Amino acid sequence: MAFWTRRTWMTLAALGGFVAVAMGAFGAHGVSDPKAQEWLRTGSAYGFMHTLATFACAIFMEIGARRARLAPAFFLSGVVIFSGSLYAMALGAPRWFGAITPIGGVLFLIGWGVLAWSARDIDR
């Protein structure tokens, strides 16, 4: 059995949602630096949004959009890179670490493109 199953993607998405909520709460209640709060808020919002998009991929697959199975890799990799780099800077990583943040954004865009492409398989 392959490792990258719907079960794996849904588990990772649920954990991503957990982290997004925890980091958002930490930004709201545990950090006083306004820039760090903003990084945590932004990382949390995008992380949560894309963990939900991963759940949507499961629905797409269930209704016939088989290519939707490709999108979670882009969404969740984007969460790790985009949100993770913002979280890291908020927790003290050097500012140059933010140079990788846009890579995560590009992964998000690719994931949405793949999801749109996969929608063409629905109702055929």
Q: What is the Cα–Cα distance from 69 to 112, expressed in whole angstroms?
A: 12
- Which pLDDT score is estimated for 88? 97
Chain length of the chain: 124
Retrieve residue 115's tokens. Answer: 């999801």
One DSSP character per residue, the chain reads --SS-HHHHHHHHHHHHHHHHHHHHHHHHT---HHHHHHHHHHHHHHHHHHHHHHHHHHHHHTT-GGGGGHHHHHHHHIIIIIHHHHHHHTT--GGGGGGHHHHHHHHHHHHHHHHHHHTTTT-
Torsion of the alpha carbons at 15, 100, 92 and 32, rounded to the nearest 10: -70
Q: Which residues of the chain have pLDDT under 70?
A: 1
